[in-house]
Amino acid sequence: MEIELIVFLVMLGVFLLGNFLFKLPVSLSMAAGAVAGALVAGEGIPLRHLFEGTFVYMDTILIISTAMVFMTVIQESGALEALNAVIVSKFYKVPAVLLVLLMFIIMFPGMITGSSTAAVLSAGAIVAPILLQMGIPAPQTGAILAIGAIMGMAAPPVNIPAMLIGGGVDMPYIGFEGPLAFLTIPGAIFTVLFIGLRYCKNLDYEKIKGGLDLEIGKKYGIKLYIPIVVIVVLMVACRMLPNLIPNLGMPLIFMIGSAVGLFTGKRFNAVKAIREAMKTTVPVLGKLMGVGMFIQIMTLTGVRGYIVINCFGFGLVVLYAAICIVMPAFGAVSSYGAASVLGVPFLLALLDTGDQVVIAAALSFICSLGDLMPPTALAGNYAAQIVGEKYSKVLRYCVIPFIVCVLFGLFTLLKSRSLGFLT
């Protein structure tokens, strides 16, 4: 057995033992796996490399942290609730449109934070009661939340698996918006209509109305939405007019939006709310640090090259099968990890088959679906918790949308050359 394979198995083994047997956080388990891999490869404990890996995603960590603060602010200020109320009251007569709009609300936090957990815990928690009142049973509601959050995580502008895959091959995160929207929006629409539409063809608005906070919108008016407008305007302006408007950076934009949000709606204890929000985010941030260490050691020890070279050894059919099965399955460990460990070599193996950005986007989309994989199943577990069901029941209703999404991702991979116009 090659030494690289032994190192890889040790890294994975130590990670799984730490996470499942010793119940260590994913981040610490990955760090332990990285250290074990380095030891087996004869590198000792290479502190310099572990440090480099730990801090490589500092930019992303700042983005997620500040985005979570922003999400908390607009949730606590009442902006999300008001937005829900507006959408439901305007669109209850067209339930299909209503469901799609609610799905977009679930996706929104994931789109700007790149985290399905953030999406489920914030917008998901607000939309869930509405879906339940519309007559969608709890397990199906949980499935909509879970997949909606994952679609949000994979949707532009922030898709962390795509950033990780691109970073692994020195591909800048540019031109991903089109392909990612192409993948996630149909996936989200299909899921919410497939699972939810049959239960709400004849909606009783009077019944739903009870669960909506119709007053908050009236009380604060349009100013409730100013923080959202501010961040959208700043993001777009920095992109469109880089020579006129300095690039503030996503963290600063979110902090500006958060600061504005403190004065546009309900008063709340900002320090307490933000502290709670950060508590839920720190494990995700730690994961990124662990992933950085893991990949640095994989590169140092040649495991990464070993995986790549073996991927090249596959025929294309086996390669595509591995992408559809192994990448989401790796989500049981971490979807970010799947992107870094498997996404990068798969991208390298497919580079010549079509448009590189479209391929990377499709791989990141398939990776993201790994957040449904038990036992970690970040999105699924939190969604089940919100609707008060066991995850196994929720997971049952995720199966068909999951398969459809993976197949759609595969289609995109196969047709990436023709879809190059999206970049």
Partner 1 sequence: MKNNQLIRNVAVLLVAALICVVAGSAFWEQQQPDVLYTGNPNITGVLKLSDYNANLKGTINDVDIYVFDSGVPGGKAFIYGGTHTNEVGSMLNAVTYLENAKCEAGTIYVMVHANNSGYTHTQPLRGQIGKMTFDLPDGTVREFHVGTRLTNPIHQWPDPNYRFNPSGRELKHDELAEIRNLNRNHPGVQDGYLTEQTCWAIYNFINTEGIDFILDGHEAGAESTTLVNTLVVHENAVPLGSTAVMNCVINNLPMRLEFSGQTSYGLSHRGLGDNTNALCTLFESCNPVMGGYHEKIDEALFKDGISGNYRAMWEAGLFGNNYEIPEEGWPIEKRTAYHMSISKELINAFDTLYPDKPIKVSGLPDANEMIEKGLEYTLKSLG
Contacts of 313 (CB under 8 A, 6+ apart): none
Contact 145, 395 (CB under 8 A): no
Among 16, 197, 278, 299, binds partner 1 (CB under 8 A): 299
Tokens of 116: 């399905």
Q: What residues numbered 300-329 form the site for partner 1, per CB under 8 A? A: 300-302, 304-306, 308-309, 312
Q: What residues numbered 247-286 form the site for partner 1, per CB under 8 A? A: 247-248
Tokens of 177: 């918006």
Pick the closest to residue 180 from 415, 371, 414, 412 (CA basis). Answer: 412
* 211 touches partner 1 by CB under 8 A: no
Q: What residues numbered 345-364 form the site for partner 1, per CB under 8 A? A: 348, 352
How many chain residues are in contact with partner 1, going by CB under 8 A?
A: 42
Contact track, partner 1, 119-138, x by CB under 8 A? --------------------
CA distance 258 to 270: 10
CA distance 403 to 422: 24
Among 5, 13, 47, 276, binds partner 1 (CB under 8 A): 47
Among 172, 221, 283, 375, binds partner 1 (CB under 8 A): 172
Among 12, 32, 297, 319, binds partner 1 (CB under 8 A): 297
Among 49, 200, 331, 337, binds partner 1 (CB under 8 A): 49
| Shortest reach from residue 240's CB to partner 1, in Å | 11
Tokens of 358: 């479209």
CA distance 412 to 416: 6
Tokens of 251: 């963290």
Closest to partner 1 by CB, 289 vs 362, is: 289
CA distance 297 to 28: 15
Percent helix, strand, coil in the chain, to 5, is: 80, 0, 20
| Shortest reach from residue 41's CB to partner 1, in Å | 6
CA distance 29 to 182: 35
Closest to partner 1 by CB, 70 vs 176, is: 176
Among 110, 167, 354, 370, binds partner 1 (CB under 8 A): 167
Q: Which residues bind partner 1 (CB under 8 A)?
A: 3-4, 41, 47-53, 55-56, 167-169, 172-174, 239, 242-243, 246-248, 292, 295-302, 304-306, 308-309, 312, 344, 348, 352
